[in-house]
Amino acid sequence: MKQEQKGYSILIIEDNPGDQILLGENLKDTNLKIDEIISVDTIAEAKKMVELQHFSIIFLDLFLPDSSGLDTFSQLAKVISKTPVIISSGLSDTQVALRAISMGAQDFLIKGEYSVALLEKAVRYGIERKEAEQLVKTSEEKYRYLFDNNPATIFIWSLVDFRILQVNETALQLYGYTKEEFLQKTLLDIRPDTDHKQLAIVAAKLRHDSARTSGIWKHVNKKGEMIYLDISSHNIVYQGQRAVLSLANNITERVLLQEKLEEEKTKKQQEIAAAVIIAQAQERTFLGEELHDNINQILATASLYMDCALSDEESRIMRITESKEFIKNAMEEIRKLSKTLLPPSLGNANLLEAVQDTIDNIKKVNEHVHFITDFRVPSENSLGDKLKLAVYRIIQEQLNNIFKHAKASTIMISIKLQAGMLQLQIKDDGVGFDTSKKADGIGLQNIFERTALLKGTAKIVSKPGEGCELLVNFDIETAWEKEAVLADHPRNVHA
């Protein structure tokens, strides 16, 4: 409709003056609204005219003084792209005219054999077809741009033989192949052999049961490296055949990070399990030594005194009395041994008393170490059994670390309960260490594990030569909630 309102501008390229005049008069006899008709007799003049102005349609004779045959159309096509061309051909030029149409001309008319109505129809249809071609071309260009510049990897493959039919630029960058190399491959070539059977199952599903599928797949790039892709695929028709368009996001870094985290988690669990086994073995060794070297000797002495009492009537009372004292000593040693195995922080026992008792026992054999305590816990009623046990074990573990490594002369232990938070601080004036370096032992790791188990936070502050400070915080409400969970799953608790 726009062309009808503005009027047509027509260019006739014809070297025969009679044919020029006849075509021009016939055009004027149509119902077309024509603003101007311009005639030239060479392809050179035609090129100049199309550079100066836009024409609605061009009539072209293929045989001109400066050009002939298909070359005439080729030269004109180089300087116009959106203007429709109708070939004006002699009867003997019909085959050449048809070939010109295959190259992009809209129509052809045989000179002297067309009517005014046919001429009008050819003009209207030629313009409409050209406009339709331009729309299709524009649409294809937009599709091609979106396809090639999509940040996701896209490839199209045949459902029949898995042959790769098309890929975008992102795919070329990800896999490292050129486009020519890619189009020589099948989907099987970029997948590990172990996935071929599963790929066949997915292809069968796309052929028969489903129009789309998705999942995470392993692929192999040009370097032979494994990459992980989250792929969504759906059926399409491409170049007249059934095919699949697959859109893939590269998740290799995410998968490798997950695998590394799982590996580290497994390693940490193995280290903890090993530490538990070692601790159990040490505990059994300690028990065996105490029972054999200490308690057994005391009871053996008591037995010896009883034998003397039985054989010597005069000293019987004295020997029985002495034997009784040895048995009392054995009972006391057993009580002490039991106390080391079952700390008073369990059950309803007082946490602060248990900690103080541990400190007193240490002082008996480490007189040179000075302890400073600051206990501010008005009531332990708000502390769960597992929280008290965790704090007690953390103190034991850190004291063990200090005596093993720190060479400290002063140790400060602070336990405070305020604003719903239980705060534990253990500080020493020992040799300290570089916290940026990975520790070989698992003492600190056990502390962090115990803290995390009840959703607490732990922090180590230390420098070489400046001692060490352990800061642990528990939210009482959160710890209670975690205790309830652990009560339902007791296997997760590490005493």
AA identity, residue 4: E
Widest distance between CA atoms in the chain: 164
Please provide the DSSP assignment of 204-230 as one string.
HHHHHT-SEEEEEEEEE-TTS-EEEEE
- pLDDT for the residue numbered 493: 39
- pLDDT for the residue numbered 44: 94
Residues 6 or more apart in contact with residue 479 via CB below 8 angstroms: 384, 386, 387, 422, 454, 455, 456
CA distances from 54 to 58, 84, 86, 117 (A): 10, 11, 16, 25
CA distances from 15 to 12, 19, 39, 68, 104 (A): 9, 8, 9, 12, 22
Which token pair is 176? 């490292």
- Counting Cα atoms < 13 Å in the Cβ hemisphere of 80 gives 29
Edge-first strand listing for the sheet containing 57-60: 34-40, 8-13, 57-60, 85-89, 107-110
Which H/E stretch holds residue 91?
none
Which H/E stretch holds residue 195?
none
d(CA 441, CA 42): 94
Residues 6 or more apart in contact with residue 370 via CB below 8 angstroms: 409, 410, 411
Unique residue bearing structure tokens 């032979």: 224
pLDDT in tens, 338-371: 766 655 444 556 888 889 988 988 887 677 889 9
Q: How do beta strands 85-89 and 421-428 pair? A: unpaired
- pLDDT for the residue numbered 45: 94
Cβ pair 232, 244 in contact under 8 A:
no
- pLDDT for the residue numbered 494: 39
- Which parts of the chain register pLDDT below 50? 1-4, 344-346, 489-495
- pLDDT for the residue numbered 341: 66
- pLDDT for the residue numbered 28: 92
